[in-house]
Chain A
Amino acid sequence: MSVNLIAKHGMKDVSAMRDAYVNTLIKLAKTKREIVVLDADLSTCIGMDRFAKEYPKRFINCGIQEANMMGVAAGCAAVGKVPFVHTFGTFASRRSFDQVFLSIAYAGLSVRIIGSDPGVTAAYNGGTHMPFEDGAMMRTVPGATVIDACDCVQMEAITKLAAENEGLTYIRMPRKDVKKVYDTGSEFVFGKANELRDGEDVAIIASGILVDEALQAAELLQAEGISAAVVDMFTWKPLDTETVAKWAAKTGAIVTAENHNIIGGLGSAVSEAVCQLCPVPVERIGAQDRFGQVGAQDFLMDEYNMRAADIAEAAKKVIARKK
């Protein structure tokens, strides 16, 4: 695998995540004629109106009815279509979970769901729209693939992989600007973590928008003489347990970092693997069993202690816990 982390991180990505997603899907749909797109009155929010213009017959705007949309997507899949569904993460999970669980997953149908605005990226839409639990819910669905996307290069790859992926694929995707992590040409495989930085003292396993914070944290730690590895665990399920165990064994201390409740998300998934395969101390960065709230994304990242400084602090704490 050739993963090219860009030299200088902390930079704004070249485009908004939604553009990376929509552009890829429009390109993909040219050759993959079974692709259909469903939305529930949020298509312009991610720019999917461009897909609708290109392929009017292959776009179904269901109106504001997420539960029905999941069932309609299941029906499309049952007769050979390759549905990509989008709504905000809250509606894709909490609002329509039984439909996703039964009509799609339990029925053995292949549907890709983009849950946009994960966690603090819901920002000014506030607590009602802030999914800190969507990934946890989807992880409980047997056989589901659960993805937390971090930047545009990765999102392009995820879109292509999702088109071929069987069963329920749930993708947490920030809609707007993100920090650039990967260079063009980086490679991704569902279920395989990307090791972004080597380290000896602690391994930070992050995903989504916290990958960039984790990389910054590693630099902060380096300045203090602490060597921290950084792993992008963009696939929450199936979890790359081999990589988790490898870093647990190598560093003896793990910090997880996610834009999600620490209950049920990446921190839980990694802890489960660590407990089973290579027990070492773990500290979890993420929403600490709290609801979302309204505010700018920057404010929310401070509020929920999702900053590089918080990750570095957790790293020192977990190192101190080593036996």
Chain B
Amino acid sequence: MELDDRVERAEGCRLCHGGGMALGLDVLTEQDYPPLQIFAERIRLETVKELGHLGFGHIGGSMSIAETLAVLYGWELQHDPDDPDWPGRDMLVLSKGHAGPALYAALALRGFFPKSELETLNQPHTRLPSHCDRKLTPGVDMTTGSLGQGLSAALGMALAFQMDSRRRNVYCIIGDGECDEGQIWEAALLAGAKKADRLTLFVDCNGRQLDGATKDVLDLGDVAAKFASFGWHVQEVNGHDIGSIWTALNNIHMISGRPHAVILKTVKGKGCSFAEGKPNNHSMNISQDMVDEAVKEIQERISDLVRGPKNRTFKGV
């Protein structure tokens, strides 16, 4: 069996649409992590190819949320790729809209639109613009790009579900640099005061923003303590560890009456050889050689995961 086919099968077994409950599993166990890790790596793979096709783009912040997107679209979110506007779905607001290419990769891999469409990123009349657009892209729930605005929209959705006693959840992803925006803290204050427990916020703390290290540009201090002081239920996790993200999401369903913040400790450019650890990796020019090398490395990791011992015990593979 070709590697790609085996990976598709590995994903197909666990990544059914409709979220975790639709999988017919009561709990996610450790043996389910490898398929989610493969999904994360495939999000990286497709994102690198997608940006490489155009020759430039927001690589750093796309790489740092690969695992989070994998857990959301592979397990957590109630959604239906065949019916992107399904009224019962959970909502995802990618407030750091410049990471749109990573979200598009996740959506394409989940079948919202053909994978080949990823090559149209930023091309004339594309459905995949640099920043997220709910009017254009199947599966994109909110238009974002002007930093700081997405959390307010996510909160509005959560409050609307709350007033109707709907069991729908809203997930929002912001960057740590984005926390410079005052609007984030307006929304944080209102969410805490309104006990918006249908809202889960991921803060992608990759420690860097366009002009450099977050601590140098505008030191955020203790982000977790800040959200906690606004009345949020806060957890800090390794944002590149599938199990930790999953555990954090499991915890949010046990706690009501407070909005949830998951502080993701991440590395900007993670898992992409030409971007990880580089100083100017917010947006980069990307040559075909860089793409080829990164793709090779990511494919090797996927291959290792497919061969891995845990995965062999995984039902259905």
Contacts and interface: CB of A to CB of B under 8 A. Distances in A.
Interface of A: 36, 57-58, 60, 62-63, 65, 67-81, 98-99, 102-103, 106-108
B187 A71 contact: yes
Contact of A68 (B91, B152, B158): B152
Contact of B152 (A57, A81, A103, A106): A103
Contact of B160 (A62, A70, A71, A75): A75
A52 to B, nearest CB: 13
Contact of B163 (A58, A99, A102, A103): A58
B102 interface: no
Interface of B: 87, 91, 93, 133-135, 141-143, 145-146, 149-161, 163, 168, 170, 182-183, 186-187, 189-190, 193-194
A68 B187 contact: yes
Nearest to B199: A75
Given A79-B160, A103-B143, A108-B134, A62 B190 contact: yes
A98 B189 contact: no
A233 to B, nearest CB: 30
Given A65-B189, A68-B190, A99-B149, A74 B163 contact: no
A123 to B, nearest CB: 29
Name the prevailing secondary structure of the A interface residues.
helix
Given A72-B153, A75-B156, 18 more contacts: A62-B186, A63-B190, A65-B186, A71-B155, A72-B152, A72-B155, A72-B156, A74-B153, A75-B93, A75-B154, A76-B156, A80-B160, A98-B149, A102-B143, A102-B145, A103-B152, A107-B134, A107-B135
Given A98-B146, A103-B152, A68 B186 contact: yes
Interface centre among B87, B135, B156, B194, by most A CB within 10 Å? B156
A72 B162 CA distance: 13
A103 B190 CA distance: 18
Contacts of A98: 146, 149
A72 B134 contact: no
Nearest to A67: B183
A72 B183 CA distance: 11
Given A102-B145, A103-B143, A108-B135, A73 B156 contact: yes
Contacts of B189: 63, 65
B190 A78 contact: no
A108 B141 CA distance: 12
Contacts, number: 103
A74 B134 CA distance: 12
Contacts of A73: 156
B230 to A, nearest CB: 13
B143 A108 contact: yes
Contacts of B149: 71, 98-99, 102-103
A79 B152 contact: no
A71 B143 contact: no
Nearest to B164: A57
Contacts of B190: 62-63, 65, 68, 72
A70 B153 CA distance: 8
23 contacts: A58-B163, A60-B159, A68-B152, A68-B155, A68-B183, A71-B155, A72-B152, A72-B156, A72-B187, A73-B156, A75-B153, A75-B158, A75-B160, A76-B157, A78-B91, A78-B134, A80-B87, A80-B160, A99-B152, A102-B149, A103-B152, A103-B153, A106-B143
A69 B191 CA distance: 12
A62 B168 CA distance: 22
A62 B192 CA distance: 12
Contacts of A78: 91, 134, 141-142, 153, 156-157
A161 B223 CA distance: 45
Nearest to B172: A75
A180 B141 CA distance: 45
A65 B87 CA distance: 29
Contacts of B134: 78, 107-108
B85 to A, nearest CB: 11
A79 B157 contact: yes
Given A103-B149, A107-B134, A108-B143, A75 B186 contact: no
B143 A72 contact: no
Nearest to A111: B156
B146 A71 contact: no
Contacts of A68: 152, 155, 183, 186-187, 190
A67 B186 contact: yes
Given A107-B135, A108-B134, A74 B91 contact: no
Nearest to B145: A102
Contacts of A60: 159, 194
Nearest to A70: B152
Residue with the greatest number of chain A CB neighbours at <10 A, chosen from B150, B154, B186, B187: B186
A165 to B, nearest CB: 18
Given A62-B190, A78-B134, A108-B135, A71 B157 contact: no
Pairs A-B, 3 closest by C-beta atoms: A75-B156, A71-B152, A107-B143
A122 to B, nearest CB: 24
Given A60-B159, A103-B152, A75 B142 contact: yes
A65 B187 CA distance: 9
A79 B161 contact: yes
A237 B141 CA distance: 28
Nearest to A74: B153
Contacts of A63: 189-190, 193
Contacts of B150: 71
Contacts of B183: 67-68, 71, 99
Nearest to B97: A102
